[in-house]
Structure 1
Amino acid sequence: MSDYLIGLTGGIASGKSALEREFVARGIFVADADLIARQIVEPGQAALGAVVDHFGASVLTTDGRLDRAGLRALVFDDEPARRALEAILHPIIRAQLHQQCRAAASTYAIAAIPLLTEGGGRNAYPWLDRILVVDALPATQKARLRQRDGIDDVLAEKMIAAQATRAQRLAIADDIVVNDGDLSHLRAAVAELDTRYRALSTRL
Protein backbone atom coordinates (compact mmCIF):
# COMPACT_ATOMS: atom_id res chain seq x y z
CA MET A 1 0.00 0.00 0.00
CA SER A 2 1.35 3.43 -0.98
CA ASP A 3 0.96 6.23 1.53
CA TYR A 4 2.96 8.82 -0.42
CA LEU A 5 1.09 10.08 -3.45
CA ILE A 6 2.27 12.37 -6.25
CA GLY A 7 0.00 14.24 -8.64
CA LEU A 8 1.40 14.52 -12.17
CA THR A 9 -0.04 17.13 -14.49
CA GLY A 10 0.80 19.36 -17.42
CA GLY A 11 -0.74 21.07 -20.41
CA ILE A 12 -1.83 19.27 -23.54
CA ALA A 13 1.12 17.86 -25.54
CA SER A 14 3.55 18.79 -22.76
CA GLY A 15 4.94 15.28 -22.37
CA LYS A 16 2.98 13.75 -19.48
CA SER A 17 2.90 10.33 -21.14
CA ALA A 18 6.67 10.31 -21.65
CA LEU A 19 7.17 11.16 -17.99
CA GLU A 20 4.72 8.45 -16.93
CA ARG A 21 6.66 5.84 -18.91
CA GLU A 22 9.91 6.80 -17.20
CA PHE A 23 8.38 6.37 -13.74
CA VAL A 24 6.76 3.05 -14.70
CA ALA A 25 10.15 1.84 -15.97
CA ARG A 26 11.44 2.44 -12.43
CA GLY A 27 8.73 0.27 -10.91
CA ILE A 28 6.42 3.07 -9.84
CA PHE A 29 2.67 2.58 -10.12
CA VAL A 30 0.83 5.25 -12.13
CA ALA A 31 -2.95 5.65 -12.00
CA ASP A 32 -4.14 7.43 -15.14
CA ALA A 33 -7.16 9.72 -14.94
CA ASP A 34 -7.73 9.53 -18.70
CA LEU A 35 -7.86 5.73 -18.59
CA ILE A 36 -10.26 5.78 -15.66
CA ALA A 37 -12.41 8.37 -17.47
CA ARG A 38 -12.77 5.96 -20.38
CA GLN A 39 -13.50 2.95 -18.19
CA ILE A 40 -16.27 4.55 -16.13
CA VAL A 41 -18.37 5.36 -19.20
CA GLU A 42 -18.31 1.86 -20.66
CA PRO A 43 -21.78 0.32 -21.24
CA GLY A 44 -23.37 -0.74 -17.97
CA GLN A 45 -21.40 1.74 -15.86
CA ALA A 46 -23.41 4.14 -13.69
CA ALA A 47 -21.47 7.16 -14.98
CA LEU A 48 -22.61 6.47 -18.56
CA GLY A 49 -26.22 6.41 -17.40
CA ALA A 50 -25.75 9.74 -15.62
CA VAL A 51 -24.23 11.30 -18.76
CA VAL A 52 -27.12 10.07 -20.91
CA ASP A 53 -29.67 11.29 -18.35
CA HIS A 54 -28.18 14.78 -18.58
CA PHE A 55 -27.23 15.11 -22.25
CA GLY A 56 -29.70 12.72 -23.90
CA ALA A 57 -29.35 9.59 -25.99
CA SER A 58 -27.74 11.56 -28.84
CA VAL A 59 -24.38 11.14 -27.06
CA LEU A 60 -24.54 7.38 -27.69
CA THR A 61 -23.44 5.45 -30.77
CA THR A 62 -25.77 2.95 -32.41
CA ASP A 63 -24.26 0.13 -30.33
CA GLY A 64 -24.91 1.95 -27.04
CA ARG A 65 -21.41 3.21 -26.41
CA LEU A 66 -20.49 6.79 -25.59
CA ASP A 67 -19.82 8.89 -28.68
CA ARG A 68 -16.69 10.50 -27.25
CA ALA A 69 -15.99 12.74 -30.23
CA GLY A 70 -19.59 13.91 -30.35
CA LEU A 71 -19.68 14.64 -26.62
CA ARG A 72 -16.35 16.50 -26.82
CA ALA A 73 -17.71 18.66 -29.63
CA LEU A 74 -20.90 19.26 -27.64
CA VAL A 75 -19.16 20.59 -24.53
CA PHE A 76 -16.02 22.15 -26.04
CA ASP A 77 -17.47 25.64 -26.56
CA ASP A 78 -20.28 25.34 -24.00
CA GLU A 79 -19.03 26.21 -20.52
CA PRO A 80 -22.19 25.17 -18.60
CA ALA A 81 -22.29 21.84 -20.47
CA ARG A 82 -18.63 21.19 -19.76
CA ARG A 83 -19.11 21.98 -16.09
CA ALA A 84 -22.09 19.64 -15.93
CA LEU A 85 -20.06 16.82 -17.48
CA GLU A 86 -17.21 17.43 -15.06
CA ALA A 87 -19.62 17.40 -12.11
CA ILE A 88 -20.74 13.91 -13.17
CA LEU A 89 -17.35 12.37 -13.95
CA HIS A 90 -14.72 14.09 -11.81
CA PRO A 91 -15.84 12.85 -8.35
CA ILE A 92 -15.82 9.25 -9.62
CA ILE A 93 -12.43 9.69 -11.29
CA ARG A 94 -10.94 11.26 -8.13
CA ALA A 95 -12.21 8.43 -5.93
CA GLN A 96 -10.83 5.73 -8.24
CA LEU A 97 -7.48 7.49 -8.59
CA HIS A 98 -7.12 7.63 -4.82
CA GLN A 99 -8.18 4.02 -4.38
CA GLN A 100 -5.77 2.73 -7.04
CA CYS A 101 -2.84 4.75 -5.70
CA ARG A 102 -3.39 3.67 -2.11
CA ALA A 103 -3.54 0.02 -3.22
CA ALA A 104 -0.27 0.26 -5.20
CA ALA A 105 2.65 -1.94 -4.20
CA SER A 106 5.34 0.62 -5.08
CA THR A 107 7.07 2.81 -2.48
CA TYR A 108 5.08 5.80 -3.67
CA ALA A 109 2.41 6.13 -6.37
CA ILE A 110 1.59 8.69 -9.02
CA ALA A 111 -1.83 9.96 -10.06
CA ALA A 112 -1.60 11.29 -13.62
CA ILE A 113 -4.25 14.02 -13.80
CA PRO A 114 -4.15 16.17 -16.98
CA LEU A 115 -6.81 18.57 -15.65
CA LEU A 116 -5.52 18.78 -12.08
CA THR A 117 -5.28 22.58 -12.17
CA GLU A 118 -8.64 23.04 -13.89
CA GLY A 119 -10.29 20.50 -11.58
CA GLY A 120 -9.56 22.38 -8.37
CA GLY A 121 -5.89 21.67 -7.67
CA ARG A 122 -5.01 20.84 -4.09
CA ASN A 123 -8.49 21.62 -2.84
CA ALA A 124 -9.97 18.87 -5.00
CA TYR A 125 -7.13 16.43 -4.29
CA PRO A 126 -6.19 16.96 -0.62
CA TRP A 127 -4.66 13.47 -0.49
CA LEU A 128 -1.77 14.41 -2.81
CA ASP A 129 1.52 14.90 -0.98
CA ARG A 130 3.21 16.68 -3.87
CA ILE A 131 2.34 17.98 -7.32
CA LEU A 132 4.70 17.44 -10.26
CA VAL A 133 4.17 19.60 -13.35
CA VAL A 134 5.69 18.77 -16.71
CA ASP A 135 6.17 22.09 -18.45
CA ALA A 136 6.57 23.06 -22.10
CA LEU A 137 6.45 26.37 -23.92
CA PRO A 138 3.11 27.07 -25.65
CA ALA A 139 4.92 27.20 -28.99
CA THR A 140 6.30 23.72 -28.32
CA GLN A 141 2.85 22.45 -27.35
CA LYS A 142 1.37 23.89 -30.54
CA ALA A 143 4.01 22.29 -32.73
CA ARG A 144 3.53 18.90 -31.07
CA LEU A 145 -0.25 19.14 -31.39
CA ARG A 146 -0.01 19.95 -35.08
CA GLN A 147 2.27 17.00 -35.68
CA ARG A 148 0.41 14.56 -33.42
CA ASP A 149 -3.17 15.35 -34.43
CA GLY A 150 -2.65 16.72 -37.94
CA ILE A 151 -4.45 19.98 -37.12
CA ASP A 152 -3.86 23.61 -38.02
CA ASP A 153 -2.56 26.46 -35.86
CA VAL A 154 -6.03 27.82 -35.12
CA LEU A 155 -7.37 24.59 -33.64
CA ALA A 156 -4.11 23.90 -31.77
CA GLU A 157 -4.21 27.35 -30.17
CA LYS A 158 -7.89 26.87 -29.28
CA MET A 159 -7.14 23.55 -27.57
CA ILE A 160 -4.30 25.10 -25.55
CA ALA A 161 -6.42 28.12 -24.61
CA ALA A 162 -9.21 25.85 -23.33
CA GLN A 163 -6.92 24.65 -20.54
CA ALA A 164 -5.43 26.43 -17.54
CA THR A 165 -2.59 28.78 -18.33
CA ARG A 166 1.02 27.75 -17.97
CA ALA A 167 1.36 30.18 -15.04
CA GLN A 168 -1.65 28.65 -13.26
CA ARG A 169 -0.17 25.15 -13.53
CA LEU A 170 3.27 26.24 -12.35
CA ALA A 171 1.68 28.03 -9.37
CA ILE A 172 0.51 24.73 -7.86
CA ALA A 173 3.74 22.82 -8.56
CA ASP A 174 6.08 21.44 -5.91
CA ASP A 175 8.32 20.00 -8.64
CA ILE A 176 8.74 20.99 -12.29
CA VAL A 177 10.22 19.09 -15.23
CA VAL A 178 10.83 21.12 -18.37
CA ASN A 179 10.19 18.88 -21.36
CA ASP A 180 11.96 20.41 -24.34
CA GLY A 181 12.00 17.12 -26.23
CA ASP A 182 15.38 15.93 -24.93
CA LEU A 183 14.75 12.37 -23.72
CA SER A 184 18.05 12.14 -21.83
CA HIS A 185 17.11 15.27 -19.88
CA LEU A 186 13.72 13.75 -19.09
CA ARG A 187 15.28 10.53 -17.84
CA ALA A 188 17.77 12.38 -15.67
CA ALA A 189 14.98 14.50 -14.17
CA VAL A 190 12.90 11.41 -13.37
CA ALA A 191 15.90 9.66 -11.82
CA GLU A 192 16.44 12.62 -9.49
CA LEU A 193 12.74 12.87 -8.62
CA ASP A 194 12.47 9.13 -8.03
CA THR A 195 15.32 9.27 -5.52
CA ARG A 196 13.70 12.25 -3.79
CA TYR A 197 10.23 10.71 -3.63
CA ARG A 198 11.54 7.40 -2.29
CA ALA A 199 13.35 9.27 0.47
CA LEU A 200 10.29 11.36 1.30
CA SER A 201 8.02 8.31 1.37
CA THR A 202 10.19 6.57 3.98
CA ARG A 203 9.85 9.51 6.37
CA LEU A 204 6.13 8.92 6.88
Structure 2
Amino acid sequence: MRSTLIIGLTGGIASGKSTVAKYFADLGVPIIDADVIAKSLTIPSTKAYRAILIHFGKEVCQNDGSLNRPQLRKIIFTKPTERLWLENLLHPLIYKEMRKEIKLCQAPYCILVMPLLVETKDHRFRKMINRALLVDTTKKKQMQRLRQRDHITIAKAKSILKAQCTRKERLALADDIIHNDKTPINLKKQISTLHKKYSTKH
Protein backbone atom coordinates (compact mmCIF):
# COMPACT_ATOMS: atom_id res chain seq x y z
CA MET A 1 0.00 0.00 0.00
CA ARG A 2 1.36 3.41 -0.99
CA SER A 3 2.09 5.78 1.88
CA THR A 4 0.59 9.25 2.06
CA LEU A 5 2.64 12.01 0.44
CA ILE A 6 3.29 14.82 2.93
CA ILE A 7 3.28 18.35 1.48
CA GLY A 8 4.53 21.22 3.65
CA LEU A 9 2.69 24.40 2.66
CA THR A 10 4.53 27.57 3.61
CA GLY A 11 4.95 31.21 2.62
CA GLY A 12 5.49 34.67 3.99
CA ILE A 13 2.88 36.57 5.95
CA ALA A 14 -0.12 37.65 3.81
CA SER A 15 1.09 35.54 0.89
CA GLY A 16 -2.22 33.67 0.70
CA LYS A 17 -1.49 30.41 2.54
CA SER A 18 -4.98 30.19 4.06
CA THR A 19 -6.64 30.74 0.69
CA VAL A 20 -4.47 28.08 -0.94
CA ALA A 21 -5.16 25.63 1.91
CA LYS A 22 -8.91 26.25 1.51
CA TYR A 23 -8.77 25.51 -2.22
CA PHE A 24 -6.94 22.24 -1.53
CA ALA A 25 -9.52 21.40 1.15
CA ASP A 26 -12.30 22.04 -1.39
CA LEU A 27 -10.70 19.30 -3.51
CA GLY A 28 -11.01 16.89 -0.58
CA VAL A 29 -7.39 17.08 0.55
CA PRO A 30 -6.78 16.62 4.31
CA ILE A 31 -5.36 19.81 5.86
CA ILE A 32 -3.23 19.77 9.01
CA ASP A 33 -2.63 23.35 10.15
CA ALA A 34 0.14 24.17 12.64
CA ASP A 35 -1.60 27.38 13.75
CA VAL A 36 -4.89 25.58 14.39
CA ILE A 37 -3.06 22.95 16.43
CA ALA A 38 -1.18 25.64 18.38
CA LYS A 39 -4.48 27.32 19.29
CA SER A 40 -6.00 24.04 20.47
CA LEU A 41 -2.92 23.39 22.61
CA THR A 42 -3.18 26.76 24.35
CA ILE A 43 -6.84 26.95 25.34
CA PRO A 44 -7.52 27.51 29.06
CA SER A 45 -6.89 24.44 31.26
CA THR A 46 -4.07 23.05 29.08
CA LYS A 47 -0.53 22.66 30.42
CA ALA A 48 0.86 24.93 27.70
CA TYR A 49 -1.68 27.64 28.57
CA ARG A 50 -0.68 27.55 32.23
CA ALA A 51 3.02 27.65 31.34
CA ILE A 52 2.46 30.71 29.12
CA LEU A 53 0.56 32.55 31.87
CA ILE A 54 3.26 31.78 34.44
CA HIS A 55 5.99 32.97 32.08
CA PHE A 56 4.39 36.08 30.52
CA GLY A 57 1.97 37.09 33.26
CA LYS A 58 -1.63 38.32 33.16
CA GLU A 59 -0.94 40.81 30.37
CA VAL A 60 -1.41 37.96 27.86
CA CYS A 61 -4.73 36.92 29.41
CA GLN A 62 -8.10 38.37 28.40
CA ASN A 63 -11.05 38.97 30.72
CA ASP A 64 -12.70 35.69 29.71
CA GLY A 65 -9.53 33.76 30.60
CA SER A 66 -8.44 33.07 27.02
CA LEU A 67 -5.05 34.10 25.68
CA ASN A 68 -4.68 37.61 24.34
CA ARG A 69 -3.03 36.39 21.16
CA PRO A 70 -2.43 39.83 19.58
CA GLN A 71 -0.61 40.90 22.76
CA LEU A 72 1.39 37.67 22.82
CA ARG A 73 2.35 38.14 19.15
CA LYS A 74 3.45 41.69 19.93
CA ILE A 75 5.75 40.46 22.71
CA ILE A 76 7.40 37.68 20.73
CA PHE A 77 7.72 39.92 17.67
CA THR A 78 9.73 42.51 19.60
CA LYS A 79 11.65 40.09 21.86
CA PRO A 80 13.44 37.23 20.05
CA THR A 81 14.32 35.48 23.32
CA GLU A 82 10.63 35.30 24.26
CA ARG A 83 9.77 33.98 20.83
CA LEU A 84 12.38 31.26 21.27
CA TRP A 85 10.94 30.36 24.69
CA LEU A 86 7.45 30.01 23.21
CA GLU A 87 8.71 27.94 20.28
CA ASN A 88 10.59 25.63 22.64
CA LEU A 89 7.36 25.12 24.56
CA LEU A 90 4.97 24.63 21.65
CA HIS A 91 6.96 23.11 18.78
CA PRO A 92 7.45 19.66 20.37
CA LEU A 93 3.72 19.54 21.15
CA ILE A 94 2.74 20.68 17.64
CA TYR A 95 5.12 18.15 16.09
CA LYS A 96 3.64 15.32 18.17
CA GLU A 97 0.07 16.26 17.22
CA MET A 98 0.97 16.57 13.54
CA ARG A 99 2.53 13.11 13.54
CA LYS A 100 -0.63 11.75 15.13
CA GLU A 101 -2.87 13.33 12.48
CA ILE A 102 -0.60 12.19 9.63
CA LYS A 103 -0.90 8.58 10.81
CA LEU A 104 -4.69 8.85 10.54
CA CYS A 105 -4.52 10.16 6.98
CA GLN A 106 -5.50 7.67 4.26
CA ALA A 107 -5.58 10.05 1.29
CA PRO A 108 -2.94 9.99 -1.49
CA TYR A 109 -1.49 13.15 0.02
CA CYS A 110 -2.12 15.68 2.76
CA ILE A 111 -1.19 19.32 3.28
CA LEU A 112 0.68 20.48 6.37
CA VAL A 113 0.26 24.25 6.71
CA MET A 114 3.56 25.35 8.26
CA PRO A 115 4.05 29.15 8.18
CA LEU A 116 7.48 28.99 9.85
CA LEU A 117 8.87 26.03 7.91
CA VAL A 118 11.80 28.11 6.66
CA GLU A 119 12.37 30.13 9.86
CA THR A 120 12.21 27.33 12.42
CA LYS A 121 15.41 25.91 13.85
CA ASP A 122 13.54 22.69 14.66
CA HIS A 123 14.53 20.57 11.67
CA ARG A 124 12.10 17.80 12.60
CA PHE A 125 9.40 19.75 10.76
CA ARG A 126 11.40 19.75 7.53
CA LYS A 127 12.18 16.06 7.87
CA MET A 128 8.52 15.14 8.29
CA ILE A 129 7.54 16.41 4.82
CA ASN A 130 8.22 14.95 1.37
CA ARG A 131 7.90 18.20 -0.54
CA ALA A 132 7.85 21.90 0.36
CA LEU A 133 5.17 23.93 -1.42
CA LEU A 134 5.74 27.68 -1.35
CA VAL A 135 3.00 30.27 -1.82
CA ASP A 136 4.97 33.09 -3.42
CA THR A 137 3.93 36.64 -4.15
CA THR A 138 5.52 40.04 -4.61
CA LYS A 139 6.49 42.23 -1.68
CA LYS A 140 4.07 44.85 -2.96
CA LYS A 141 1.17 42.37 -2.83
CA GLN A 142 2.20 41.28 0.67
CA MET A 143 2.20 44.89 1.84
CA GLN A 144 -1.24 45.53 0.37
CA ARG A 145 -2.80 42.40 1.85
CA LEU A 146 -1.14 42.82 5.24
CA ARG A 147 -2.25 46.43 5.63
CA GLN A 148 -5.78 45.63 4.48
CA ARG A 149 -6.09 42.54 6.69
CA ASP A 150 -4.58 43.92 9.91
CA HIS A 151 -5.41 47.63 9.43
CA ILE A 152 -1.84 48.76 10.08
CA THR A 153 0.43 51.52 8.81
CA ILE A 154 2.99 51.16 6.04
CA ALA A 155 5.80 51.47 8.60
CA LYS A 156 4.33 48.68 10.74
CA ALA A 157 3.84 46.42 7.72
CA LYS A 158 7.43 47.01 6.62
CA SER A 159 8.76 46.15 10.09
CA ILE A 160 6.78 42.88 10.13
CA LEU A 161 8.06 41.85 6.71
CA LYS A 162 11.61 42.78 7.67
CA ALA A 163 11.46 40.44 10.68
CA GLN A 164 10.67 37.45 8.45
CA CYS A 165 13.11 35.46 6.38
CA THR A 166 13.69 36.64 2.81
CA ARG A 167 11.83 35.60 -0.30
CA LYS A 168 15.13 34.24 -1.63
CA GLU A 169 15.48 31.93 1.39
CA ARG A 170 11.96 30.58 0.89
CA LEU A 171 12.48 30.00 -2.82
CA ALA A 172 15.67 28.07 -2.06
CA LEU A 173 13.73 25.62 0.13
CA ALA A 174 10.75 25.14 -2.20
CA ASP A 175 10.19 22.01 -4.28
CA ASP A 176 7.03 23.46 -5.82
CA ILE A 177 5.84 27.06 -6.11
CA ILE A 178 2.38 28.62 -6.36
CA HIS A 179 2.49 32.18 -7.71
CA ASN A 180 -0.25 34.12 -5.94
CA ASP A 181 -0.04 37.48 -7.65
CA LYS A 182 -2.74 37.21 -10.30
CA THR A 183 -6.42 36.24 -10.33
CA PRO A 184 -8.26 33.65 -8.20
CA ILE A 185 -8.90 31.68 -11.40
CA ASN A 186 -5.17 31.54 -12.10
CA LEU A 187 -4.52 30.45 -8.52
CA LYS A 188 -7.08 27.65 -8.71
CA LYS A 189 -5.59 26.47 -12.01
CA GLN A 190 -2.15 26.10 -10.42
CA ILE A 191 -3.64 24.23 -7.47
CA SER A 192 -5.57 21.90 -9.78
CA THR A 193 -2.34 21.05 -11.63
CA LEU A 194 -0.52 20.30 -8.39
CA HIS A 195 -3.47 18.28 -7.10
CA LYS A 196 -3.21 15.95 -10.10
CA LYS A 197 0.56 15.72 -9.65
CA TYR A 198 0.41 14.93 -5.93
CA SER A 199 -2.49 12.49 -6.30
CA THR A 200 -0.51 10.27 -8.66
CA LYS A 201 3.02 10.75 -7.28
CA HIS A 202 4.70 7.69 -5.78
* Bin for the TM-score computed over the shorter chain: over 0.9
Q: Which digits, 9 at most, give the CA deviation of each residue in 1:91-128, with x for residues without a partner?
A: 21122122213312322111001111111375533120
What's 1:96 paired with?
97
2-side partners of 1:79 and 1:111: how far apart?
25
Distance 1:59 1:138, change over 3 A: same
Q: Give the percent of matched residue pairs that are identical in Structure 1 and Structure 2.
A: 38
Say what the alpha-carbon RMSD is for the aligned residues: 1.7
TM-score (norm. length: structure 2): 0.92
My pick for the range that moved more, 119-128 or 86-95, is 119-128
1-side partners of 2:18 and 2:69: how far apart?
21
Q: Which digits, 9 at most, give the CA deviation of each residue in 1:11-30, with x for residues without a partner?
A: 01111111111111111001
What's 1:111 paired with?
112
2-side partners of 1:33 and 1:191: how far apart?
23
What's 1:162 paired with?
163
2-side partners of 1:135 and 1:3: how far apart?
25
My pick for the range that moved more, 96-105 or 78-87, is 96-105
2-side partners of 1:177 and 1:91: how far apart?
29
Where structure 1 has 5 or more consecutive residues not aligned to the other structure, the ranges are none
Structure 1 letter corresponding to 2:38? A
Instruction: Name the SS for the 2:19 alignment partner.
Output: helix
Structure 2 letter corresponding to 1:169? R
Distance 1:122 1:182, change over 3 A: farther
1-side partners of 2:122 and 2:50: how far apart?
27
User: Residue 78 of structure 1: CA displacement?
Assistant: 0.7
1-side partners of 2:159 and 2:96: how far apart?
30
Q: Which digits, 9 at most, give the CA deviation of each residue in 1:3-58, with x for residues without a partner?
A: 21100000011111111111111110011111111111001111112212322343
Instruction: Name the SS for the 2:100 alignment partner.
Output: helix
Instruction: Name the SS for the 2:127 alignment partner.
Output: coil
Instruction: Name the SS for the 1:63 alignment partner.
Output: coil
User: Residue 63 of structure 1: CA displacement?
Assistant: 3.1
Is 2:126 the counterpart of 1:125?
yes
Contact 2:4/2:106 (<8 A) preserved = no
Contact 2:4/2:105 (<8 A) preserved = no
What's 1:33 paired with?
34
My pick for the range that moved more, 132-141 or 117-126, is 117-126
My pick for the range that moved more, 102-111 or 27-36, is 102-111
Contact 2:8/2:114 (<8 A) preserved = yes
Is 2:60 the counterpart of 1:46?
no
User: Residue 192 of structure 1: CA displacement?
Assistant: 1.0
Distance 1:35 1:23, change over 3 A: same
User: Residue 185 of structure 1: CA displacement?
Assistant: 1.2
Contact 1:2/1:109 (<8 A) preserved = no
Distance 1:57 1:152, change over 3 A: closer
Instruction: Name the SS for the 2:107 alignment partner.
Output: coil
